[in-house]
Amino acid sequence: MEHDYVVILPTETHEDEVTAAGVISVIWRELSGGVGPWGALRPIVAVILSLVPFLFLGQHFNRQHRKSVGWFVIQFPLLLSIFLWPVLFLWSIVDAWWVSSGIVARST
């Protein structure tokens, strides 16, 4: 009652030739998460713009103009406090990164 099992494997064909451009393309796709160069750089640009104090440019960059204007107005009373204004400034940087990353995630 012995049965012989036969396994037939397809022959491997190497139609795709590995090129330097192909390798760079795969590496870039892995580094950028598949969202392309602008999607990978958008959150970084938002953070760089947010580093400009008092103007909340990161929120303007993310097209959240109403939020930016609100934070601009509320910062004047907070400037009287040495502690609370830096909290708002740091939160605006985090918010710019968070919203920009969300925009990139929704666009893919």
pLDDT per residue as tens digits for the range 8-36: 888 776 666 778 888 887 777 776 666 66
What is the residue range of 60's domain? 34-107
77 within domain boundaries: yes
Instruction: State the pTM of this model.
Output: 0.58
83 within domain boundaries: yes
7 within domain boundaries: no
18 within domain boundaries: no
Q: Which stretches in the chain have pLDDT values below 70?
A: 1, 13-16, 31-36, 38, 108
Residue 39 near residue 107, CB atoms below 8 Å: yes
Q: Give the chain's domain count.
A: 1
Sign of the alpha-carbon dihedral angle for 52, 54, 55, 57: positive
Q: Which two tokens stand for residue 80?
A: 């009287």
Please give the pLDDT value at position 79: 77
94 within domain boundaries: yes
